[in-house]
Amino acid sequence: MGTVQILGLIVLLVGIVLVGVEFILPGFGIPGIAGIIFTAAGIFLTGRNASERIMVGVIAVVIIAVMLVVSILVFSSKKIKSPIKLDTDLPGKNLFIDEQDMEYLIGKKGVAVTDLKPSGKGEFDGVKFDILSGNYYIKRGAALVITEVKNNRIIVEEEK
């Protein structure tokens, strides 16, 4: 094995380690890009001909795949905290408002903050909501009244 092949093997190993770091760190950043470049350069430098480069490339892909499976298994266990997955509960009893809790809005009067085409924003008692008109256009600033709450959607009509 010549000097170029030894250098290629070192570059290949650095590339595989950088790809492994990318499995741990969220996002596609410098370790992932550098890992791909180093891995490709290592494959090119390690093999003396096309068949050796293909064989080294297949071995590198198998090693990376095994590392991916191991990292998924390790981070899916509850013993090790994943840097990608949120494990803590958000504070608050209910984070979503049920449709029954929104029924008090029926009959409230407000104003369109944006044009409703048919969706937009409206302000009712100083609170802004995402709202829907009854499939027709309502200009910004128009007086509104909430007519129904259906599937957690607030449906409004122009006040007459």
Q: Which domain holds residue 133?
A: 99-158
- Pull the structure tokens for residue 75: 């981070």
Do 72 and 7 lie in one domain? The reply is yes
Query: Residue 88 falls within a domain, yes or no?
Result: no
Report if pTM > 0.85.
no
Three-class SS state of 94: coil
Q: How many domains does the chain have?
A: 2
Do 7 and 64 lie in one domain? The reply is yes
Taking Cα atoms as reference points, which of 143, 145, 113 lies closest to residue 127?
A: 113
Residue 121 — left, alpha, or beta (φ > 0 → left; ψ -120 to 50 → alpha)? Answer: beta
Q: Which residue has the tokens 């290949």?
A: 12
pLDDT, residue 150, reads: 85
Sign of CA dihedral 74, 76, 77, 81: positive
pLDDT (tens digit per residue) in 55-114:
999 999 999 899 888 887 877 766 766 666 666 666 665 556 666 777 888 899 999 999
Query: Residue 61 falls within a domain, yes or no?
Result: yes
**110 in Cβ contact with 123 (< 8 Å):** yes
- Rounded Cα–Cα distance for residues 25 and 22 (Å): 5
